[in-house]
Amino acid sequence: MNVHFNGDIAVIDERITLVKLLDNKQLTDKKGFAVAINENVISRNEWDKVILKENDRILVIKATQGG
């Protein structure tokens, strides 16, 4: 199954959860970033409940310091 992950096509297993995808992408430190699917922000406590679908558009934004 194909999804869009930060603008790139990613081939993933069917019935994979968002949290599993993030683990597969080595985003194990779940602090300091936000995730949106199809332009809807997903609450962190829902990540393990969201099952991804074909052509979902996943955007991961990591907070950075600076100024």
Domains of the chain and CATH, by start: 2-62 (3.10.20.30)
Q: Could you read off the pLDDT of 8-51 as tens digits, one per residue? A: 999 999 999 999 999 999 886 767 889 999 999 999 999 999 99
How wide is the angle at C-alpha 41 spanned by C-alphas 23 and 53, nearest 5°?
60
pLDDT of 64 reads 78
Structure tokens at 46: 């829902």
What global pTM score does this model have? Answer: 0.88
Can you tell me whether residue 12 is helix, strand or coil? coil
Q: Choose between 9 and 65: higher pLDDT.
A: 9
- Return the half-sphere exposure (C-beta side, CA atoms, 13 A cut-off) of residue 58: 26
